[in-house]
Chain A
Amino acid sequence: MALVPVKIEKDGKWLVGRIDLQQDSMNVVEPFKAAIPYKSVIDLEEKKNILIVTVKGDPPVIYRIASVEKVLQAMKRFIAMSCSAYRLMAYFMSPAVRGGVMVTNATWEKGAIAVLKSTIWFVSQNKQVSVALKEVTSMEITKKEVQKNQVDVLKLDHMENTDVVTSYVLCPLSTLQILINFLKDATKDLEITGEELDPVAAQVGMLIYSGMDSHAIEKMLNIPYKNLDEVYEKLLKLGMAEVTQVRREVQLTPKGVRFITESVKPPT
């Protein structure tokens, strides 16, 4: 159907090659030969414009493929629509909210939802959105106004790089319930069980969510760093946060003080 240029990883090296994209399979023709029937694909991930295709086998075979956006779009659509996955026809809107701000040009896309081993795919003719299951932060069935009617939708909050994004799925309620049960099961590791945060820790969490750093949090909540560090420790223990950087506070030695004092003296 179409011979497309790609870069494909082999033994840790990226090689220039070509893939023959067909309706039911894609075949690597260069730099090595491999036939990949879409039905044999058990997982499909996307990381920074690289498609990671996992094919059934013992052990499974993983292909990492990079190419131009147009080629990747076609691959994603073919694979997501034909691979081994739980799939349902639905309308989706993704992203609908990004970082708390409504996406003004968000529209409902008619397509399919494919739930794979590690990723959910929203697929339509023009749009393919992947959401890694480990990046899903919450999900619920809620009401949303669609064409002046309040209808049941699945609201899915997930991370996209560092942004918190909300997407919606619209399909019959019974299907939504199957989907949410599946997703709840697939993301049960992320559930918070019984560990309640005290009000200060919850406020710290909210401030981190909003992008505040330690200095800003200390000032806003008027708490000493020692207390803030204890909250951080709690969040880390609960797996609710991770360390991004450790900042140091220093004071000048006599040598440093001498340098500064000298530097502000007027030139003689």
Chain B
Amino acid sequence: MGRILIVDDTLFMRTLLKNILFSGGHDIVGEAGDGDEAIAKYQELKPDLVTMDVVMPKVNGIEALKGIRAIDPNAKVVMCTAVGQEQMVKLAIKTGAKGYIVKPFQAPKVLEEIKNVLSS
């Protein structure tokens, strides 16, 4: 089980992910609402994994991923994209994302992906 930082600009999606990950036995160490906050929280909390929304105000998920990878090249970041943003997936993978989930998502599959990334 991992210590996870959830990054999403909507409270609803953060709460949903928090519930799913908590039900899977993970520890939610923090939440961030934009890319800047995500980078700062990553540095502060050193989580095992980050779930990162792609489209966010100010600094987006791809830029935040770059920022986090600059701090920790081995950071495990799972990107969350909405339907229709699948093209972003390739860019995220190139940038170093370890996994990706597409919204809307189903709890068991999300937990499976998180488990895979944590054990990779």
Q: What is the interface of chain A, defined by CB distance below 8 A to chain B?
A: 97-102, 142-145, 162-164, 166, 203, 206-207, 209-212, 216, 220
Contacts and interface: CB of A to CB of B under 8 A. Distances in A.
B86 A101 contact: no
A225 B20 CA distance: 21
Contacts of A162: 106
B87 A145 contact: yes
Given A206-B104, A210-B16, A220-B15, A100 B109 contact: yes
B90 to A, nearest CB: 7
9 contacts: A97-B102, A99-B109, A100-B102, A100-B106, A100-B110, A101-B112, A210-B16, A210-B107, A212-B107
Interface string B95-109: 000011111111111
The 4 closest A-B pairs by CB, nearest first: A100-B105, A99-B109, A99-B106, A211-B107
A101 B109 contact: yes
Given A98-B109, A142-B84, A163-B109, A220 B19 contact: yes
A216 B15 CA distance: 10
Interface residues of B, number: 24
Contacts of B99: 101
A236 to B, nearest CB: 20
B113 interface: yes
Contacts, number: 63
Contacts of A210: 16, 20, 104-107
A102 B87 CA distance: 12
Nearest to A212: B19
Interface in B73-99: 84, 86-87, 89-90, 99
Contacts of B19: 212, 216, 220
Contact of B90 (A97, A143, A145): A145
A99 B105 contact: yes
Interface of B: 12, 15-16, 19-20, 84, 86-87, 89-90, 99-110, 112-113
A246 to B, nearest CB: 22
The interface centre, meaning the residue of B20, B86, B110 with most chain A CB atoms within 10 A of its CB, is B86
B107 A101 contact: no
Contacts of B87: 143, 145
Given A144-B86, A210-B20, A210-B105, A101 B110 contact: yes
Given A101-B101, A102-B89, A209 B106 contact: yes
A210 B111 CA distance: 11
A101 B107 CA distance: 10
A220 B107 CA distance: 15
B90 A101 contact: no
A98 B109 CA distance: 7
B117 to A, nearest CB: 11
A5 B84 CA distance: 46
Nearest to A164: B106
Contacts of A99: 105-106, 108-110
Given A210-B20, A210-B104, A210-B107, 20 more contacts: A97-B102, A98-B109, A99-B108, A99-B110, A100-B101, A100-B103, A100-B104, A100-B109, A101-B100, A101-B102, A142-B84, A144-B86, A166-B102, A206-B104, A209-B106, A212-B16, A216-B19, A220-B15, A220-B16, A220-B19
A93 to B, nearest CB: 12
Contacts of A164: 104, 106
A141 to B, nearest CB: 12
